[in-house]
Structure 1
Amino acid sequence: MSANIISKIKPTAGYVLIQAEEQQTQTVGGIYLPDNAKGDKPQTGTVLAVGADDVKDGAKIVAPAKVGDKVIYKKWGGNEVKIDNKEYLFVKFEDIMAIYGS
């Protein structure tokens, strides 16, 4: 159900929709991690949708990423949305710091 809903979401100008990478729940050695030991929220994810180019101070701001790109975004960047127990984020173009795969 969530894939169908997500495919219909179109971010507004200046935003991308990102599916955050899952945090590890188990170490390489097989030890399960409690929620309070997992550390900071992930700052990486996959772009699912891209809003229109934005305009700031009269200058056009083009989306830095495209659908399918893997990105690194600012630690506290984005507004969380949960759909069917999966975490998604609306992140501003300017909060995307790097693209590392597509």
Structure 2
Amino acid sequence: MLKPISNHIILKPVEAETTTAAGIIIPDTVDKDKPEQGEVLAVGPGKLTDSGNRMPMDVEVGQRVLFKKYAPDEFEIDGEKYLIITADDVLAIVEK
């Protein structure tokens, strides 16, 4: 498993809905700047402050988060796609 450092977060991408409840297909060009969603797989220990303390992370493993569309770095391990972002890129936690 991956272990992020500092204030980094490892996500599993969650695919956006491409069809409405009425069956209308939403093209890729619509809402292209809309935030993305991902499931938190791992969370770093937090960023170090100038005084040497760690800033607490606001997200936990298992949560679904919204993040800035162009923020993540994408990578693949053993055929699985992952995203890595910083805590500053998280816009909101999606509550169920």
TM-score by length of 2: 0.72
Unmatched runs of 5 consecutive residues or more in structure 2? none
Q: Which has the higher helix share?
A: 1
Q: Give the equivalent residue in structure 2 for 1:4.
A: none
Tell me which moved more, 68-77 or 22-31: 22-31
Pairwise CA RMSD of aligned residues?
Answer: 2.6
Tell me which moved more, 25-34 or 44-53: 25-34
Map residues 26-41 of structure 1 onto 2, 5 A cutoff.
39=32
Map residues 1-102 of structure 1 onto 2, 5 A cutoff.
8-24=1-17, 39=32, 43-58=36-51, 60-83=54-77, 84-86=79-81, 88-101=82-95
TM-score by length of 1: 0.68
Q: Is the 8 A contact 1:47 1:70 kept in 2?
A: yes
4+ residue segments displaced more than 3 Å: 23-42, 56-60
* Percent of pairs with identical residues: 34
Unmatched runs of 5 consecutive residues or more in structure 1? 1-7
